[in-house]
Amino acid sequence: MRRIDVIAISLGFATLGLGAYVLLRWLGVPQEQAEIWTPTVLLGGLMVWLATYAFRVVSGKMTYHQQLQNYKRAVLAKKLAEMSPEEIAKLLQED
């Protein structure tokens, strides 16, 4: 994740919190109750975001994992391109 993404997510959560507070006050919720529910909304949003992050980590769909797989494939393709047909045949017979 890039630095700008972290900044955007942080600003998004701050805006979500302020928006939730303003919306609750506009709906007529007393100030004390709005002050209790606003962090609850933010915490719920954070938990959802963490769950999606954990899912990407477990499933291996993170940018780092994809870049690593692409690099390994490129290295193997380069090695295969540098091999002679005899070496390829010998390698296939070993399997």
Residue found under tokens 């692409």: 70
Q: pTM (2 decimals)?
A: 0.54
Query: What's the average model confidence in pLDDT over 21-40?
Result: 93
pLDDT for 27 beyond 90: yes
Q: How confident is the model at residue 26 (pLDDT cuts 50, 70, 90)?
A: very high
Helix 3-26, helix 31-59: angle, nearest 10: 150
pLDDT for 95 beyond 80: no
* CB burial string 44-68: b at 16+ within 10 A, e below: eeeeeeeeeeeeeeeeeeeeeeeee
